[in-house]
Copies of this chain bind each other. A is one copy, B any other.
Amino acid sequence: MVALAPSIRLRRTPFSEGVEAAGVTAYSVYNHMLLPAVFESPEADYHHLKRAVQVWDVSCERQVELRGPDAARLMQMLTPRDLRGMLPGQCFYVPIVDETGGMLNDPVAVKIAEDRWWISIADSDLLMWVKGVAYGYRLDVLVDEPDVSPLAVQGPKADDLVARIFGEAIRDLRFFRFGWFQFQGRDLVIARSGYSKQGGFEIYVEGGDIGMPLWNALMAAGADLDVRAGCPNLIERIEGGLLSYGNDMTRANTPHECGLGRFCNTQTAIGCIGRDALLRVAMEGPVRQIRPLAVDGPALPPVDRPFPLMAGDRKVGQVTSGAWSPDFGTNVAIGMVRMTHWEPGTDLILEAPDGPRRAVVRETFWN
């Protein structure tokens, strides 16, 4: 692999010192920030994640903060998901779309109060869209990126580790709910959430100065749990069907194509930008959609460009994420497939750079 040239533009995080001391071997770049991608190896990191507990520097999940009397109105303009029933203390996964229904981001909205929201973003400068819309509509709202850097604790032993630092009450937190918990006298939002299927928490670390103290406290408290530095794991997230914005979907796709129709309440999400386009899509249905695929043969090479999915001479889709799964003994993959060929069990040919392989559309993800 080619090296990553350092620069301020690829921002370090409050936890970079810990990440480097733990021996990160590959980075990605996400929201102009360093995102660890590999420590020991993707396979070793994967086995450990499923067995023990990891601390992840996901500072790159930057927050877009909305504050002011029009914050809730603006938030509903951004997404086709109906937010009327959402309460402070809840997190909602919200597709964000432009006026044509094209995906701009797929963040988690964190409702802190009626007039204060965080949007915990995937890899695009959503801040710019939100600021532009707020300015154009002259909304009474402040839009900014606060000094908040999420630190995830993921894995089957995540509850045990987090309870040692933040107290037993954290075990009662329900999925996609958050509460306020203290560390060194500072109140921090902690949600039961995270980009894995192994369970765990995301700690919204407000103030970079307590980043390394918290990192070190978690590492010290979890020594007997075999806690390690980790990161979102490519294999595990594909098994679990966790999509990646920029990889599996882009501005070219509607939420319905991404299988996110259940997060679109287009009839009732009044005020949503892109509502007209999405009502049309909801009526007609998408003509292509995200599907899990099992791919034959040895471990796939890195999916660094879309790999075509063929039915005979016709291109009927593409694979956008893929990796060898040790636990399932096959290549697990995510692809966008045309409706003519998206039924479970459909046999396709994947044109990988090292040659063609059989790929079979599956009903569900693995995990």
Contact = CB atoms under 8 A, between A and B. Distances in A.
Contact of A132 (B30, B32, B130): B130
Q: Give the top 5 A-B pairs by smallest Cβ distance, nearest first.
A: A136-B136, A132-B132, A9-B246, A5-B37, A125-B125
A27 B4 contact: yes
Interface stretch (A80-88, A257-265, A297-305): A297-305
26 contacts: A1-B5, A1-B6, A2-B27, A3-B3, A3-B38, A5-B27, A6-B304, A7-B304, A7-B321, A8-B321, A10-B28, A10-B29, A12-B305, A32-B124, A32-B246, A104-B128, A124-B125, A128-B129, A131-B132, A132-B132, A132-B134, A132-B135, A132-B136, A133-B135, A135-B136, A136-B136
Which bracket fits the contact residues of A?
A: 35 or more
A126 interface: yes
Contact of A304 (B1, B12, B131): B12
Q: How many copies does the complex hold?
A: 2
A320 B130 CA distance: 28
Interface of A: 1-10, 12, 24-30, 32, 37-38, 98-99, 104, 123-137, 244-247, 273, 302-306, 320-321
Contact of A136 (B4, B25, B133): B133
A128 B132 CA distance: 8
Contacts of A98: 131, 135
A59 to B, nearest CB: 14
Contacts of A131: 98-99, 129, 132
A155 B27 CA distance: 32
A134 B37 CA distance: 37
Greatest chain B CB density within 10 A among A5, A30, A38, A137 is at A5
A29 B304 CA distance: 14
Given A7-B321, A99-B131, 16 more contacts: A1-B3, A1-B4, A2-B3, A3-B38, A4-B4, A8-B304, A8-B320, A9-B30, A9-B123, A9-B244, A9-B247, A10-B28, A98-B131, A128-B128, A130-B132, A132-B135
